[in-house]
Amino acid sequence: MARRLRGREALTGYVFVLPAVALFAIMGLYTVGYGLALSFAQWNGFTPTWTWVGLGNYLDLIYRDPTIAPIVHGAALRTLVVMIAVPLLTVLVGFPLAVALNHITWLRSAYRTVFFLPQVTAGIALFYAWTYALQPDGSLNFILRHLGLGTIAQPQGWLGNPATALPTLIVVMVFSAVPVAMLLYLSGLQTLDAAVIDAARVDGAGGLRTMASIIWPLLLPITGAVTMLNLRNALQDFQTFLLMTNGGPGGHTLVLGLESYNLAFFSGFKPTLGLSSALGWILFLIALVLAFVNLRVLRSRA
C-alpha cells in the first residue's frame, strides 16, 4: 500500500513537472538548436531553403568578408571598451555609495529610493529621458551654461559628437547599474562581523586602513559578482545603443550586440541571418568563458 502511494506521489510530481519540461524543450532547446544550425547557413528569412556554408559565416565575420569584417572589428573594439569601463566604474561608484549609505542611517530610505529609481523605471522611458537631457538644447547643456561651464557643453549634443557619444553611453549604463551594485555592497557591509572591524580599530587601524585591509577584502566575492554581472550586461547590451544612438554618429557607438541585431533585421533581403546567428554564438562563447573565469576566481577567493 505504501509503495503504491509513493508511486502515485511520484506520478503526480511528474505530471506537475511535465509542462515546465515541455516548455523548456520547445522555447529553450529548440531555439538554441535552431540558432546554432542557422549559424552554419546562409538565409534571408524568406526563401524556403538554407544554403549550408559550414564555418563560412564565422570566417566572414572574423576576417574574410571585406565589408562586414571591418565593421565587426570596430564593434568588437568598442564592446571591449564598454566591457572594461562599465564594470570598473560601477564598482568605483557603487562601493563608496554603499559605504555612505551604511553610515547615514537617517537618510537611508530616501537615499536608497533615489538611487534605486532607475531600476523601477521602464527602460525605454529612462533611455528617452537621457536622450532628451543630452540633446544640444537639453538639460545637461542648460545646467553647464548656467554654472559657467558653457565651454564644456556640446553644441551638437553629447550623443551627436563622435568624441563624446560612446563615453556618454557608458555613463548612462553605469547610472543604470550602480543601484544594484550599491545594494549588493550594502547587504555585504551589513553582514560583516563587527568584532573583526572592532579588533582592527583596537589595533590602531584608521578608517581608511580598515576599509582597505579589512572591509574591501571581505567584500571581494561581492565585487566579483558585480563585475561578472556588468561584464555580461556590457557584452550583451544592445538596446541602450539602439534606442539612444542606433550606432551613430557614423558608427562610433556600434557594438557587437547591435551589429548582430542589424544583420538579422536591417539587411533587406540579403542572406545575413546566418551571420547574425554566428555573431550571437560568438558573444555567447565569450560570455561562457567570462563566467568560467569568474567562477574560478570566486572559488579561489573562497
Candidates 136, 134, 130; CA nearest to 156 is 136
In sequence order, what DSSP letters do the residues of 53-87 get, joined into one string? -TTHHHHIIIII-TTHHHHHHHHHHHHHHHHHHHH
63 & 30 share domain: no
Residues 173 and 236 in one domain: yes
Helices (H), 106-204: 108-120, 123-133, 139-146, 162-190, 194-202
Rounded-to-integer distance, Cα 234 and Cα 89, Å:
12
CA distance 174 to 92: 10
In a domain, 122, yes or no: yes
Alpha carbon distances (Å) from 95 to 89, 119, 195, 208, 230: 10, 17, 21, 14, 14
- The number of domains in the chain is 2
Q: Does 184 lie in the same domain as 284?
A: yes
Q: Are residues 6 and 89 in the same domain?
A: no
Q: Same domain for 69 and 14?
A: no
8 and 74 housed in the same domain: no
What does each of the 302 residues of the chain score in pLDDT, given as a tens digit?
Answer: 556 656 777 788 888 888 888 887 777 788 888 889 999 999 888 888 888 998 999 999 999 989 899 999 999 999 999 999 999 999 999 999 888 888 877 666 676 666 666 666 667 778 888 888 999 888 899 999 888 888 888 888 899 989 999 999 999 999 888 888 988 998 888 888 878 778 877 777 777 888 888 888 888 888 888 888 888 888 888 888 998 998 888 889 999 999 999 998 887 778 889 999 999 999 989 888 887 887 777 666 65
Average pLDDT, the chain: 85
pLDDT score, position 5: 57
Q: How far is CA 233 from CA 76, 122, 139, 155, 174, in A?
A: 15, 17, 28, 31, 11
Is residue 48 included in any domain, yes or no?
no
pLDDT tens per residue across span 262-297: 998 887 778 889 999 999 999 989 888 887 887 777
In a domain, 184, yes or no: yes
Cell of 234: 556590457
Range of the domain at 15: 1-42
Question: What CATH number corresponds to the domain at position 279?
Answer: 1.10.3720.10
Domain identity same for 14 and 92:
no
In angstroms, the Cα distances linking 164 to 85, 137, 143, 265 are 14, 16, 17, 28
